[in-house]
Amino acid sequence: MARQMFMQRFARWHIWLGWLVGVPILMWTVTGLFMVLRPIDEVRGENLRPAPAAMHTAGLVLPDGAGQVRDMTLTAQPDGPVWIVTEAGGGRYRYSAQDGSLIPPVVKDEAQRIAAANYSGKATLEGVTYFPDDSPPADLRANIATWQARFSDGTNMYINDSTGEVLAIRTGWWRAYDVMWGLHIMDLKTREDAHHPILIAFAALSVVGALLGCTLMFRRRKARVKAP
């Protein structure tokens, strides 16, 4: 009799936990399904980038006056090969690989050329807009001065104002994926914090609910086997 009462209480706990964590579990399942519908390379727009251009290295010149350098990368840009230099203080700049001179920040016409050179999709370039580092676009979420290139298929490309690098490609699918990711980790504000008390608490309660359900399932199966 005592065991029966305990199992009934056990079942009530399971029901109440089911009501409590049912919505988060459904949300995790739906958002997880959405996020695996397309390959992550398509979500990130990597399929819209052309293959890197080959460069002839003969006669290339190292940066002139870069000071102490932490990192240096050779890359091709529409106006010729450049060195992307990360200085010891953290600043990032670009230098011409043809004469070693410091190249000034990207201007509008150059941003258009960089966007066109780094897009292999079928849409057309509609325009470019400059965003200072203190007011970045919502789908970039990085405090970096950038140029936003907008394409007719809803794709946005972000170009670093100092270096001319393509920071990110944001497709319409990426924006939907971003919302789903925020729901999945229960962080719609920054969509980056997967370690916070609300998520941990609901995940722990879901585990407890699953364990209670498994216990009840095996108990009931055992009881049916013993029944005459």
For 126, the domain range is: 46-170
Q: Quick one: what percent of the chain has pLDDT higher than 70? A: 85
Could you write out the three-class secondary structure of 29-89? HHHHHHHCCCCHHHHCCHHHCCCCCCCCCCCCCCCCCCCCEEEEEEEEECCEEEEEEEECC
Does any domain span residue 228? no
- Does 104 lie in the same domain as 65? yes
Final residue before a domain boundary, out of 126, 146, 170: 170
Burial class (CB in 10 A: 0-12, 13-18, 19+), 136: middle
How does the average pLDDT of the chain come out, rounded?
87
Convert the pLDDT of each residue in 54-101 to its tens digit: 888 888 999 987 788 899 999 999 999 999 999 888 889 999 999 999
The yes-or-no verdict on residue 173 having pLDDT over 70 is yes
Report helix angle 2-35 to 197-226, nearest 10.
130
Tell me the pLDDT band of 192, cut-offs 50, 70 and 90: confident
Which among 28-37, 47-56, 212-221 has the top mean pLDDT?
28-37
- Does 147 lie in the same domain as 204? no
- Does 189 lie in the same domain as 87? no
Angle CA(180)–CA(182)–CA(188) in degrees, nearest 5? 130
Residues 167 and 111 sit within 8 Å (Cβ to Cβ): no
- Does 60 lie in the same domain as 114? yes
Final residue before a domain boundary, out of 128, 154, 170: 170
Residues 83 and 74 sit within 8 Å (Cβ to Cβ): yes
Tell me the pLDDT band of 225, cut-offs 50, 70 and 90: very low
- Does 91 lie in the same domain as 155? yes
- Does 188 lie in the same domain as 82? no
- Does 154 lie in the same domain as 57? yes
- Does 79 lie in the same domain as 137? yes
Does any domain span residue 146? yes
Q: How many domains does the chain have?
A: 2
- Does 200 lie in the same domain as 160? no
Does any domain span residue 132? yes
Kindly state the tokens that stand for 179.
């919302």
Please name the residue that has the structure tokens 């370690």.
195
Which is nearest to 115 in space by CA: 75, 176, 47, 168?
Answer: 168
- Does 100 lie in the same domain as 135? yes
Does any domain span residue 227? no
Convert the pLDDT of each residue in 15-41 to its tens digit: 666 667 788 888 999 999 999 999 999
- Does 59 lie in the same domain as 127? yes
Buried b vs exposed e over 109-122: b needs ≥16 C-beta within 10 Å? ebbbebbeebbebe
Tell me the pLDDT band of 227, cut-offs 50, 70 and 90: very low
Q: Please report the beta strands in 78-189, taking only residues with DSSP state E, as ranges in sequence order.
A: 80-87, 92-96, 125-131, 146-151, 156-160, 166-170
CA 112 to chain CA centroid, nearest Å:
24
Read off the DSSP letter of residue 104. Answer: P
Query: Which of 10-14, 22-26, 131-135, 167-171 bottoms out in mean pLDDT, i.e. has the lowest?
Result: 10-14
- Does 119 lie in the same domain as 65? yes
The yes-or-no verdict on residue 51 having pLDDT over 60 is yes
Kindly state the tokens that stand for 99.
């004469």
The yes-or-no verdict on residue 4 having pLDDT over 70 is no
